[in-house]
Chain A
Amino acid sequence: MKGMKGTRARGLTLHISLIAGVLVSLFPFYWTIVMSTHSSTEIFQYPPKLLPGSHFDENVHHLFQKIDFFGSMFNTLVVAVSVTFLVLFFDSLAAFVFAKFHFPGRRALFVIMMGIFMVPAQLQAIPQFVIMAKLGWIGSLTSLVIPAAANAFGIFWMRQYMKGSIHDELMDSSRLDGCGFLRQYWHVALPVVRPGLAFLGIFTFMAQWNDYAWPLIALINPDHVTLQVALSQLNSVNGTTDYGMVMAGALLALIPLLVVFFIGARQIMADLAKGAIR
């Protein structure tokens, strides 16, 4: 049968093309490993070394001499964890109100919130910097945490989620049982929307971990920065750079992020796509 053979050949071509795509996707990660395990002399040789070398320890040693790697990672962790918890709490609380209650001004407040979505960050950057300076927060992690503690995206996302998953009957019966607002939020709403919170939490954590532009401006002391800013300092030295060291830094900085992504990958990919189609 001709059809059978054609299908198999087509399936093979399909998987070969898809695997070629995977190789392009993953190659830069592999290349980071290769570069971070070679000394500078090896890196400057031609033809380039395509397999991992044996100088990783040395490069990591240089890295730790050059920047306070764990200090800046700790700063990043403090910011990312605090922001994630604040966002989960404030956003889900506000979303619960918007999804399940009537009150004067609800529509207007919601429209205002969605309008804020559209304002580009540059319009806020200079005045934010000035306000932070007035408050004395420039240079401290507070300047990163507080402005990020609640956001329109998270409220909108959680509201959509709650509208679909918290049924009115559940709200009514809990009210008849004498549940007040906070107890309804904590004991009725939150348990139902756990998957939605998981997505928002992972998404927020990763966004904070990777944030760069504002920390670059707000943390003026070069010895007290977040991981991404510290990494960019490594790369911005003029002239010859110790590339093995820089790549070792990039590699180590990726690990915590990849761990979080491995844990939440399925959820993240499914929910991002869902959001686009809605």
Chain B
Amino acid sequence: MTGVGAAPTLGAPADDGVRSAAARRPKPRSVLGYWRLYLAISPFYLLFLCFGLIPVGFSLYLSFHRWDGLGSMEYAGLSQYRYLLSDSQFWNSLTNTLIIWAIATLPMLFIALVTAVMLNSAVRFKNFYRFAYFLPNVTSVVAVAIIFTSIFSTNFGLANAVLQGLGLDQVAWLNTDWGIKVSIAVLMTWQWTGYNALIFLAGLQTIPSELYEAARVDGAGPVQTFFRITVPMMRPIILFALVVSTVTGLQSFTEPQVLLANTNNTSTFAGGPGNSGQTMVLYFFQQSFDNNDFGYGAAIAWGIFLVVAIFSIVNWRLVQRGEK
């Protein structure tokens, strides 16, 4: 592909500047004349076709069949979806996912907003603070989960050592229903609060300072200012953060998988004792790659897709209403 001297066969520049003359419009010519442009964007679409579109279509086909990945496929109709609706382990994983998401996300967004407000009014060491707060987010989830396994360990964990030091009863964090959920939520909150604080900080910097001046003149205190001015003005960005943490939170996998890895006896995707930390995606992996039940796995994947889609639409509605 030689580009030299090929000017006439190129598409015209996009007209996002001031459109000066009709001369800028592309001369009508056959689609083939644009082959260089199509070639340049083709890698993405080829990869998408092979590893995106065909797989998605195939997983739809698969969800109507029973298949262990080796033998022949057997048509199953809607039976796997029907089974999904009555599968108590799937409902358990959905409940787990929502509980963990709620106890992680809501405090996370609140702490992040407060942190951002404080950062916004700090003059010195701003870059240092931003750096320190963002560090947890770039750390790999696997490493973070390993670190938190040691903190929440029943025998030697720091969390229990602190409880013991305070004269309180120890908690088997990674062995009880709520202990597991709280541990996963704490891990997520630790990892994502700083990221959200930085996003909020960028948003705060777009709020005109006259608003704060006016509030101060009217005698509003910091708490009042926070709830009367900051929160309403930040609404679109808070909703953006909510959307992002919903989509990622509903698909959590690595956190529970690594955190509960050495309490699992049956499967690496079990989510700890009593499946208390088994999220939807963990259950998907368990059925697909531990039980080799590819057909049912595909049906679960579509179930997860539906849940994520519903939550995204609800979030989207909230955003829309906020913009009115």
B14 contacts A99, CB within 8 Å?
Answer: yes
User: What chain B residues lie within 8 Å of A113 (beta carbons)?
Assistant: 44-45, 48
Docked Cα-Cα span, A274 to B149, in Å, equals 34
User: What chain A residues lie within 8 Å of B195 (beta carbons)?
Assistant: 272
How would you classify the secondary structure of chain A's contact residues: helix, strand, loop or mixed? helix
A98-B41, A180-B7, A210-B140 in contact; A147/B261 too (CB < 8 A)? Answer: no
Docked Cα-Cα span, A191 to B156, in Å, equals 54
Q: How far is the CB of B25 from chain A (nearest CB, A)?
A: 8
Residues 145-158 of B, flagged 1 when their CB comes within 8 A of A and 0 if not, give 11111110101101
A210-B141, A246-B146 in contact; A28/B253 too (CB < 8 A)? Answer: no
User: What chain A residues lie within 8 Å of B108 (beta carbons)?
Assistant: none
* Top-6 shortest CB links A-B: A180-B3, A182-B3, A273-B202, A127-B55, A236-B261, A101-B11
**Interface positions of A from 180 to 233, Cβ below 8 Å from B:** 180-185, 206, 209-210, 212-213, 217, 228, 231-232
We find that the number of chain B residues with CB closer than 8 angstroms to chain A is: 113
Docked Cα-Cα span, A14 to B240, in Å, equals 27
B297 contacts A126, CB within 8 Å?
Answer: yes
User: What chain B residues lie within 8 Å of A181 (beta carbons)?
Assistant: 3, 6, 10, 36-37, 40
**Interface positions of B from 3 to 38, Cβ below 8 Å from A:** 3-7, 10-17, 26, 31, 34, 36-38
Q: How far is the CB of B306 from chain A (nearest CB, A)?
A: 10
A25-B194, A101-B10, A247-B147 in contact; A120/B262 too (CB < 8 A)? Answer: no
Docked Cα-Cα span, A183 to B10, in Å, equals 12
User: What chain A residues lie within 8 Å of B155 (beta carbons)?
Assistant: 44
Q: Does A53 contact B (CB under 8 A)?
A: no
A151-B44, A250-B146 in contact; A103/B37 too (CB < 8 A)? Answer: yes
Q: Does B119 contact A (CB under 8 A)?
A: yes
Q: Does B115 contact A (CB under 8 A)?
A: yes
B139 contacts A26, CB within 8 Å?
Answer: no
User: What chain B residues lie within 8 Å of A254 (beta carbons)?
Assistant: 139-140, 143
Contact of B38 among A103, A212, A234 (CB under 8 A): A103
Q: Does B69 contact A (CB under 8 A)?
A: yes
Docked Cα-Cα span, A3 to B41, in Å, equals 61
Q: How far is the CB of B23 from chain A (nearest CB, A)?
A: 11
Contact of A273 among B38, B132, B142, B201 (CB under 8 A): B201
Q: Does B217 contact A (CB under 8 A)?
A: no
Contact of B156 among A43, A122, A273 (CB under 8 A): A43
Q: How far is the CB of A208 from chain B (nearest CB, A)?
A: 11
Pairs A–B under 8 Å by Cβ, sample size 19 = A18-B118, A28-B136, A28-B147, A28-B190, A43-B156, A48-B156, A93-B41, A123-B59, A131-B51, A175-B10, A178-B5, A181-B40, A210-B139, A212-B142, A250-B143, A253-B140, A258-B138, A265-B134, A272-B198
Q: Does A157 contact B (CB under 8 A)?
A: no
Docked Cα-Cα span, A66 to B52, in Å, equals 37
A103-B38, A147-B47, A149-B47 in contact; A235/B146 too (CB < 8 A)? Answer: yes
Q: How far is the CB of A158 from chain B (nearest CB, A)?
A: 12
Q: Does B224 contact A (CB under 8 A)?
A: no
Task: Name the residue on A nearest B131 (C-beta).
Answer: A265
Stretch with Cβ within 8 A of A (4 or more), from B84-92, B94-102, B281-289: B281-289
B56 contacts A119, CB within 8 Å?
Answer: yes
**Interface positions of B from 252 to 307, Cβ below 8 Å from A:** 253-254, 257-258, 261-262, 264-265, 268, 281, 284-285, 288-289, 294, 297-298, 300-302, 304-305
Residues 124-138 of B, flagged 1 when their CB comes within 8 A of A and 0 if not, give 110111111111101
Q: A residues near B, CB below 8 A?
A: 14-15, 17-18, 21-22, 24-26, 28-29, 31-32, 35, 43-48, 90-91, 93-94, 96-104, 109, 113, 116, 118-131, 146-147, 149-152, 155, 163, 167-168, 171-172, 175, 178-185, 206, 209-210, 212-213, 217, 228, 231-232, 234-239, 241, 243, 246-247, 249-250, 253-254, 257-258, 261, 265-266, 268-269, 272-274, 276-277
A122-B304, A126-B62 in contact; A171/B16 too (CB < 8 A)? Answer: no
Q: Does B172 contact A (CB under 8 A)?
A: no
A250 contacts B265, CB within 8 Å?
Answer: no
Q: Does B310 contact A (CB under 8 A)?
A: no
Docked Cα-Cα span, A244 to B147, in Å, equals 11
A47 contacts B251, CB within 8 Å?
Answer: no
Docked Cα-Cα span, A136 to B298, in Å, equals 22
Residues 197-240 of B, flagged 1 when their CB comes within 8 A of A and 0 if not, give 01101110010000000000000000000000000000001001
